[in-house]
Amino acid sequence: MTTKRAAASTKKSWEGAANRPPSSQRPYRTDRETLENQVRIDTFRGSGPGGQHRNVTDSAVRLTHIPSGIVVTATESRSQHRNREKAFERLIERLEKLNRPRRKRVPTRAPARTKEERLIEKKRAGAKKELRRQVGRGPD
């Protein structure tokens, strides 16, 4: 008897950015009200200096923007409210950067001198290979 098994998910945590929606979903909205509905907010204990108060308070904030997969964190302050504001500022910056249209690349031509150098190097390599041929053997 054979049973079908569901394929195991091989998605890594760092692949979230690669699985963004197509560009037709952009631009992402950057107003605060919309963002608050589109993010998952996690609080955790920040590390580093700050003494006892910081070690027992969940003051660090991580925002995950679900539509784009962007994750930002703020752990600078001992205040969760200040860290939340800082995280939203960072998220808005990142979304604005994503919303900017990318410039198309203008292909460049190789200069004439570079083409000449490339041909000279090819001739030199061909001559070197010619010297490797066995003596007494005719052309193939």
**Percent of all residues in the chain with a pLDDT value above 90, rounded to a whole number:** 51
All domains of the chain in start order, with CATH: 14-99 (3.30.160.20)
pLDDT tens per residue across span 65-123: 999 999 999 998 888 999 999 999 999 999 999 999 889 999 899 999 999 999 999 99
3-state secondary structure the chain: CCCCCCCCCCCCHHHHHHHCCCHHHCCCCCCHHHHHHHEEEEEECCCCCCHHHHHHCCCEEEEEECCCCEEEEECCCCCHHHHHHHHHHHHHHHHHHHHCCCCCCCCCCCCHHHHHHHHHHHHHHHHHHHHHCCCCCCCC
Predicted TM-score (pTM) of this structure: 0.58
